[in-house]
Chain A
Amino acid sequence: MALSADTDFKTRLQTWLPKLVLSPSLALVLVFVYGFILFSVYLSFTDSRLLPSFGWVGWENYSKLWRLSHWETSLTNMGIFAALYIGICTALGLSLAIFLDQKIRGEGFIRTIYLYPMALSFIVTGTAWKWFLDPGIGLENVMQSWGWTSFEFDWIKNRDFAIYTVVLAAVWQTSGFVMAMFLAGLRGIDNEILKAAQMDGASNWNLYRRIIIPQLRPAFLSAFVILSHLAIKTFDLVIALTGGGPGRATELPATFMYSYTFSRNQMGIGAASATIMLMTIAAIMIPYLYAELREKK
């Protein structure tokens, strides 16, 4: 860089050192991520079943995939799930962050309570959630035993509503984390601007709408990246809560892909679904990354 004109060995090492330090990570990622993605795309064109095999079958796996009604179910579910999950987490996280930013007594304590679900996996909380949502022993039963006999909450048993219980549990897990991201953003806002605007007689509502929320743009974007990555990877949650049921009503692309690759010995179709998933992720993330990284230059 600045000193690269010098031919002294030590200085030359200094110029190469940064790239040398970066190279192991890059190499790992190239092999273990991009290499594997290429491998998986290749598998989607083969007759792989139990284990990878390399007989070329062209687009057959893709045409089979689109004939499967529950692949469509899982895509629809992904749409519903991702939209609600990202939407609710963002709205709830922002609201809670704004509330928590009002010089609240015991803020640290409340924040810890909001954040802790992120520490637990659904292998840990799955049974508790399953109980809670089960009308026989959970919320419905408790409410009825407390005297509210007409109370009904049986979504998890209803194939039209079960996906919303998955959203509920997912929101429980991450909304506190999103709250923390927005809270951090709020704390970074310059108070002088706010004071000036207050002097001009702006209401709190207008302050938030016009000045504060627009300044949270980086936090919105970070939240979007984290949430969409979690939405796409949602797997344990469905397995723990509904096992994909009732019927196949809460199947998501990740569970679909896993079941075809590993339970059904149709690795080719599993790889085809993985390829479609990856392309969808790329279609959403690459423009975002491009915009984000370009701005910095």
Chain B
Amino acid sequence: MSVATQDTAIRTGRVTRTLIYLVLVLFALFYMLPLYVMVVNSVKPLEEITGGGMMNLPVVFTLEPWAKAWSSAQIGVEPTGLSPYFWNSIKMVVPAVAISTVLGALNGYVLTKWRFKYDTIVFGLILFACFIPFQIVLIPMAKMLGLMGLAGTTWGLVLVHVVYGVGFTTLYFRNYYAVFPTELIRAAQIDGAGFFQIFWRILLPSSGPIAVVSIIWQFTNIWNDFLFGASFAGAGSQPMTVALNNLVQASHGVKEYNVHFAGAILAALPTLLVYIVAGRYFVRGLMAGSVKG
């Protein structure tokens, strides 16, 4: 993927460049704004927030809201903070992302390198699944989970997220493998390599960029999901988003906005980290795969 570092050959003048920088910085400010509001207000005491001035920097700096959101805020009957739910989310997200990515990679491999009659129809069917609105699957899904004995468990949630994520991962890997030279596969076949050997030795080692895209996409979607988490989790497996919702949506009593903001950032921290750490590979992966139809 040597093209990844290629810059455009377009040349621009000094005035144009200044204007371009100006526009880029303005939009950077626009994108930062909500995060700025959240961060700034999460380190203020509550009186400072209710006093107005949501854009102001804190006069008194405090990390207490963060500590409270993490370990002592009221989520249910007991003031547990968000921390137990954080681990519930991890236990759900890691297997769901892993399984859906592996399935997507295998599907992409089959659909591009082991083509058979009607394979495009199969792909079309899998792809169209991406568009189903989640609200309509709640009731039948609950029924199926009940029948399978997975109702109210983390594994039930993993299944749900794999089902509704596999369309995307298949799309990413299929487009990526489509441009992978088929001659290499044929040569390996002639050397007697089997189905999994070819996948393992030839395709997988060069799948880094698209795996990053798939993992980022799945991780963010699953981590941020609320509807499935609320509906299908049991008492011991409610994910972070459900807990955050319980914290923020509590209808009675003083609204501790600073704690809410701290909790919101805590809930978003893993996905933010993934974007910041892996964001670089993201464009590279997109470039290598999904946009090259």
A and B directly contacting (CB within 8 A): yes
Q: With A and B bound together, what is the CA distance between A31 and B144 in angstroms?
A: 10
Cβ–Cβ contact B133 & A254, under 8 A: yes
Given A123-B248, A131-B54, A221-B293: A233 in contact with B133 (beta carbons within 8 A): yes
**A183→B4 CA distance, assembly (Å):** 10
- Residues of the B chain whose Cβ atoms lie less than 8 Å from the Cβ of A112: 275-276, 279
Q: Which B residues are in CB contact (< 8 Å) with A64?
A: none
Q: Taking chain B's interface residues, is the majority helix, strand, or loop, or is none over half, making it mixed?
A: helix
Most A-side CB within 10 Å, residue of B10, B141, B290: B10
A277 to B136, CA, bound (A): 11
**C-alpha spacing A17/B109, complex, angstroms:** 12
In chain A, positions 82-105 with a C-beta closer than 8 Å to chain B are 96, 99-104
Q: Known interface pairs A184-B287, A187-B4. Does A292 touch B293 (Cβ–Cβ under 8 Å)? A: yes
User: Distance (Å) between the CB of A265 and the closest chain B CB?
Assistant: 13
Interface: A67 (CB within 8 A):
no
Q: Check: A151 CB closer than 8 A to any chain B CB.
A: no
Residues of B within 8 A of A58 (CB): none
Interface string of B78-114 (1 = CB under 8 A from A): 0000000000000000000000000100110111001
Is there contact, CB below 8 Å, between A36 and B132?
Answer: yes
Contacts of A186 in B (CB 8 A): 8
Using Cβ atoms and an 8 Å threshold, which residues of chain B touch A102? 8, 10, 12, 17, 20
Stretch at the interface among B58-66, B68-76, B160-168, B200-208: B160-168
Map CB proximity to A onto B178-189 as digits: 1 under 8 Å, 0 otherwise. 100000001001
Name the interface residues of B240-284: CB closer than 8 Å to any CB of A.
241, 244-245, 248, 257, 260-261, 264-265, 267-268, 271-272, 274-276, 279-280, 282-284
A153 at the interface (CB under 8 A from B): no
Contact between chains at A188 and B24 (CB < 8 Å): no
A3–B189 contact, CB under 8 A? yes
Chain A interface, DSSP helix/strand/loop, else mixed: helix
How many residues does chain A have at the interface if contact means C-beta atoms less than 8 Å apart?
A: 110
CA distance A258 to B138 in the complex (A): 10
Q: Report the number of A-B residue pairs with Cβ-Cβ less than 8 Å.
A: 282
A68 touches B (CB below 8 Å): no
Q: How far is the CB of A94 from chain B (nearest CB, A)?
A: 12
CB-defined A-B contacts under 8 Å, sample of 25: A1-B114, A18-B110, A19-B110, A22-B110, A36-B136, A37-B132, A37-B136, A104-B21, A104-B24, A111-B283, A112-B275, A131-B37, A181-B290, A184-B286, A184-B287, A184-B291, A187-B287, A221-B293, A229-B131, A235-B227, A285-B131, A286-B128, A289-B127, A293-B123, A294-B120
Q: B residues near A, CB below 8 A?
A: 3-4, 6-12, 17, 20-21, 23-24, 27-28, 30-35, 37-38, 52-55, 103, 106-107, 109-111, 114, 116, 120, 122-141, 144, 162-164, 166-167, 170, 178, 186, 189, 194-196, 220, 224, 226-227, 241, 244-245, 248, 257, 260-261, 264-265, 267-268, 271-272, 274-276, 279-280, 282-284, 286-287, 290-293
